[in-house]
Amino acid sequence: MLKFLSIRDFVIVSSLELNFSSGFTALTGETGAGKSILIDALSLALGERGDASMVRNGCERAEVAAEFDITALADMQAWLREQELEGDDGVCLLRRVLDAGGRSRGFINGRSATLQQMREAGDRLLDIHGQHAHQSLLRPDAQRLLLDGYAGIVDAAEKVAALYRGWQTLRSRRISLSENADAVAAERELLKFQGNELQGLGFNAAEWDVLQADHARLAHAASLLETAGFGLETLSEADTACLAQLNALTARIRDGMQHDAGLGETLRMLESAQAELQEAVYALRHYQQRLDTDPQRLREQEQRIQSVMDAARKYRVAPEQLDAALQRIKARLAELGGDADLAGLEQQEKSAQQSYVAAAQALSAARKKSAGKLAREITAALQTLAMPGGSFAVALLPLAQVDGISGNAYGLEAIEFQVAANPGVPLRSMAKVASGGELSRISLAIQVAASRIASVPTLIFDEVDSGIGGRVAEIVGQLLKKLGKDYQVICVTHLPQVAATADHQWQVSKAVEGGATLSHIAVLDGEQRVEEIARMLGGVKITDTTRKHAAEMLGAAA
């Protein structure tokens, strides 16, 4: 449950630290005092979007930190381990910093976290029911999600959606293949021909470099032989060959060393050059002997190059890319499949459809079972909310067939909440109930019913009691107090009847300090609660009679 909340420079809050207790806590105060700021701050800490307007005027940044006791939440502890965001045992600390430029950072147990991670954590820690919840409950998707959540079949619904998507993917492929069978067959035949042609060429990119080098050598063989011969003659075969003259010079230098040892370095260099030139002679002779001058082989190389170039022009690629072109042809052939693929695809589609229908039928059965239970619980709640004789139903409306197919990603039926506000009146879609007050009460009954199966320990209600009063308000307070026995319940309210039933009451107020409007929250004791309830009852002028009435309300609720 929520244990502690710290708020700094958020909207009109300068600094606020609150310790929370179990049970039902009511937040009250004058209109415009900032009662919903607490909810907004918590929402920010739990990953909701923030903007620069949330930073208190003149401040660099706003900061909200919320501490939760998760000792009893094994699922939350496992999630933190999975995300590598563990902190102290039994504690989860969420912190959000929002700067004046609108940029924000989130932290879980002191470690940087994404907004998605903060929202996932928040989904496991508390539920916030807003004062406009009845508007969202008019949407069919919200009604379906609420029923599935109440029935505990959210995972089953997600499985049905996945099966439906898989089935539709196969169906689309089968339709595309059957409608374009002739074109596919023609394309397949062309690709087979092209693939056989390229495979017959037997070419690969590595061969191209070798082929070009061999051709260049064969095409210039005569010139290369002449070059080798000239080199041999110059170095060793001519009358004035380099080696002969170098040998003579080396002999004279060696004789000269008998008279001057200083010629030793020169001799060493000449002997080295002599050895290098001799190696060059051996290399040229070897090259001359192995140089291929076969005209027939040259013609074969030229024909091979021409074949490769012709294929490259035909397939509009560079020669070295012919092998990649062949691989693309093979991949496309695999994608098109063989002649027997259509029958196989039809069988896969049929199997996928059967799997979807079986899962969807099981989902429908679970929905039908829980729909009746939810309807009875909400109908019973309506009797106490100034709607005697009112009734509520959860209708499962079969989906019409489209192209011979019934069902969609959400199952075999649409979910519709139906209401009859008075006895003898037929049930109608909740979206067609005109009275805002009736919608507000129906929404509250639904939220209370849904919250009873909540997996989170903390439930927050933000002025969900708007549009009601008198005896109904007292009943709403009793409902929230009853919820407070199993959950931590926090409710922002303007009704004294609701506030009087709370286990704890906090007063929200605002005042001008140093030219700035600031909001404060005070925890009320017994006498202070009497004064606050009296203010809520009597308005500007509070009399002893009003105070007595307030004390009686508190006593009766206790």
Mean pLDDT, residues 359-385? 92
151 in Cβ contact with 362 (< 8 Å): no
Q: Does 504 have pLDDT greater than 90?
A: yes
Residue range 504-532: mean pLDDT, rounded: 87
Q: Which of 3-12, 116-125, 216-225, 229-238 has the lowest mean pLDDT?
A: 216-225
- Which tens digits make up the pLDDT trace of 233-246? 777 777 777 887 88
pLDDT class for 195, splitting at 50, 70, 90? confident
Q: Which residue has the higher pLDDT, 134 or 417?
A: 417
Residue 410: predicted pLDDT: 94
507 contact partners, CB below 8 Å, separation of at least 6:
28, 29, 521, 522, 524, 528, 532
Calpha distance 93→125 (Å, rounded):
11
- Judged against a pLDDT cut of 90, whether residue 317 lies above it is answered with no
Does the pLDDT at position 546 exceed 80?
Answer: yes
Interval 18-35: pLDDT, tens: 999 999 999 998 877 777
Predicted pLDDT of residue 217: 62
Higher pLDDT, 34 or 332: 332
Could you tell me which residue, 140 or 234, shows the higher pLDDT? 140
3-state SS class at 423 = coil
The residue type of 406 is: S
- What residue spans define the domains of the chain? 187-336
Local confidence band at 438 (pLDDT 50, 70, 90 cut-offs): confident
478: confidence class by pLDDT, cuts 50, 70, 90: confident
Interval 247-298: pLDDT, tens: 888 888 888 888 888 888 888 888 888 888 888 878 877 766 665 555 666 5
**For range 81-90, the mean pLDDT:** 92
Looking at the chain, the whole-number percentage of residues with pLDDT higher than 70 is: 87
Q: How many CA atoms lie within 13 A of 453 on its CB side?
A: 16
Non-local (6+) Cβ contacts of 174 within 8 A are 342, 345, 346, 349
Rounded Cα distance, 477 and 480, in Å: 5
Residues near 481 by beta carbon (within 8 Å), at least 6 away in sequence: 24, 501, 502, 503, 557
Is the CB of residue 406 less than 8 Å from the CB of residue 364? no
pTM: 0.61
Kindly indicate the confidence band of residue 455, based on its pLDDT and cuts at 50, 70 and 90: low
DSSP structure string for 336-353: H--TTHHHHHHHHHHHHH
Among 123-137, 222-236, 253-267, the range with the most confident prediction by mean pLDDT is: 253-267
Residue 375 or residue 440, greater confidence = 375
pLDDT confidence band for 309 (50 / 70 / 90) = confident
What pLDDT is stored for residue 97 in this prediction? 95
Mean model confidence pLDDT for the chain: 83
